[in-house]
Amino acid sequence: MTTDVAHLPNASLRGRNAPASPIRKLMPYANAARARGIHIHHLNIGQPDFATPAPILDAIARFDRRTLAYAPSQGLPEAVAAWATYFQQACGVDVPEDQIIVTAGGSEAIAFAMMAVADPGEEILVFDPSYTNYIGVAACAGVTLRGLLLEAGDDYALPSPGQIRAALTPRTRAILLCNPNNPTGAVYGEQDLRLLLDVVEEAGIMLIVDEVYRELVFDGLPRTSVLAIPGAMRHAILVDSISKRFNACGARIGCITSAHAGVMTAALRFAQARLSAPTVEQLALVPMLSDPETYTASLAAQYERRRDIVLGALGEMPEITHSRPHGAFYIIVGLPVEDAEDFARWMLEDFSAGGETVMVAPLKGFYVTPGLGANEARLAYVLGDEDLDRAVRLLGDGLDRYRTLRRDEGAIP
């Protein structure tokens, strides 16, 4: 479907203002390239190439109930209990089961959190650049996002408490943090979380923390969950997902938890409105959530090795700037071009080497603040070692050819 909703006279203002995904909007060009026989190395989307754990697939195959029935809106009791077990093992915290709601992926958990704290027109403060789907979910919910810029040169460290307080307005209802961070790869420790908790408690608002990439922390840094900070969950909402942790993005299972009774009551009502999360997938994830480290123990080391492959290849391309990510599996690159989206599209339409090309995610759509990210892109290092090295080097080759072409056209000096 390619119809531009802005030209549909009966489309809602909400629909007309909802942004297209910068991760997926170039897919028509990728599909056309694939139809021409071009192999695309996908660095644009956080879809890991690792196999989904066998216990998940086996549980799906063994589903033998006579009726595929609705699950309870909170989640199947087995799934809620499995999430509680997971939090105890992964974070060392006992989370009461009545404070856990199973959601249809992390995206629904984010939507529930936003709608539970903010009414249409009210604000949530996010740190720029930010996960692009926060922007889309907020648009659907009628919530306004306010961006506070983080600097690549400072490794995307949080601003000072004073700067954060100055960014709040009378309409701010929450601060949203992704940790480890998509798209920057930054990792925030206990001191950072306590800083934010002090700010939100003083302001009488909530802290929403997205910990989807919890296990993926590199360089010997500690893993810090907001769950593990005593008293934090009275002022915090945790959103989570199994998608990246267990390489089961298509299962669409996540959760939301908070010790704030009002937030959880609202989230349950939203859950009742959508009836239930998928029944089969909830059951299929119980074995992994109940014993997560059998699969997650080696994940960080594998992604850290991939990160180092990317850094090694980029180190031979001084024209591309970047920081050093310490978690998740993304890196932001600054490109010597005026329009990274035009470059990304050109890589799909006009470039190939040996029948191969690369797809990246232009970063402009990851910023809440207008006018930022025009020459930046996000790379997801979710390919095998050889493919990943090849993809980054193809990116460099394409960049050289693109700049030569644009220079010949007089578009760049």
Gap between the Cα atoms of 15 and 2, Å rounded: 14
Instruction: Say yes or no to pLDDT of 233 above 70.
Output: yes
Average pLDDT, the chain: 95
pLDDT score of 14: 84
Instruction: Say yes or no to pLDDT of 271 above 60.
Output: yes
Domain borders along the chain are 5-51+297-408, 54-295
> DSSP secondary-structure letter at 369?
S
pLDDT score of 173: 98
For residue 318, whether the previous peptide bond is cis, meaning omega lies within 30 degrees of 0, is no
Return the closest-CA partner of residue 324 out of 242, 397, 247, 221.
221
Average pLDDT over residues 265-279: 98
pLDDT score of 19: 86
Instruction: Say yes or no to pLDDT of 273 above 70.
Output: yes
pLDDT digits (tens, 9 = 90+) for 96-111: 999 999 999 999 999 9
Residues 6 or more apart in contact with residue 307 via CB below 8 angstroms: 185, 218, 325, 329, 331, 381
Q: Which amino acid is at 311?
A: L
For residues 197 and 159, the answer to whether their CB atoms sit within 8 Å is: no
Gap between the Cα atoms of 82 and 281, Å rounded: 13
> Within 13 Å, how many C-alpha atoms sit on residue 69's CB side?
9
pLDDT score of 227: 98
Which SS3 state, helix, strand or coil, does residue 259 take? coil
Q: E-strand spans in 35-106?
A: 39-42, 100-103
> DSSP secondary-structure letter at 92?
S
Average pLDDT over residues 209-228: 98
Q: Which residues does residue 217 pair with via DSSP β-bridges, in sequence order? A: 327
Instruction: Say yes or no to pLDDT of 59 above 80.
Output: yes
Report residue 16's pLDDT band, with 50, 70 and 90 as the boundaries.
Answer: confident
Neighbours of 319 (CB within 10 A): 12
> Cα dist. 203→21, 79, 122, 145 in Å?
32, 35, 15, 17
pLDDT score of 25: 85
Report residue 411's pLDDT band, with 50, 70 and 90 as the boundaries.
Answer: low
Report residue 23's pLDDT band, with 50, 70 and 90 as the boundaries.
Answer: confident
Return the closest-CA partner of residue 404 out of 353, 337, 340.
337
User: 51-55, 198-202, 404-408: lowest mean pLDDT where?
Assistant: 404-408
Q: Which CATH number fits domain 5-51+297-408: 1.10.287.610, 3.10.20.30, 3.90.1150.10, 3.10.129.10?
A: 3.90.1150.10
Average pLDDT over residues 282-294: 97
Instruction: Say yes or no to pLDDT of 8 above 70.
Output: no
Gap between the Cα atoms of 19 and 25, Å rounded: 10
pLDDT score of 408: 77
Report residue 158's pLDDT band, with 50, 70 and 90 as the boundaries.
Answer: very high
**Radius of gyration over alpha carbons of the chain, in Å?**
21
pLDDT score of 21: 83
Instruction: Say yes or no to pLDDT of 351 above 60.
Output: yes
Gap between the Cα atoms of 173 and 50, Å rounded: 38
Gap between the Cα atoms of 140 and 151, Å rounded: 28
Residue 40: φ, ψ to 5°:
-105, 125
Residues 6 or more apart in contact with residue 183 via CB below 8 angstroms: 129, 130, 131, 132, 330, 332, 361, 363, 366, 378
Going by CATH, does the domain composed of 54-295 fall within 3.40.140.10?
Answer: no
Instruction: Say yes or no to pLDDT of 3 above 60.
Output: no
Instruction: Say yes or no to pLDDT of 329 above 90.
Output: yes
pLDDT score of 10: 80
Cα pseudo-dihedral 183, 214, 234, 71, rounded to 10: 100
Instruction: Say yes or no to pLDDT of 2 above 60.
Output: no
Which single residue is written with the structure tokens 């810090």?
Answer: 224
Which SS3 state, helix, strand or coil, does residue 113 take? helix
Q: E-strand spans in 12-122?
A: 39-42, 100-103
pLDDT score of 170: 98
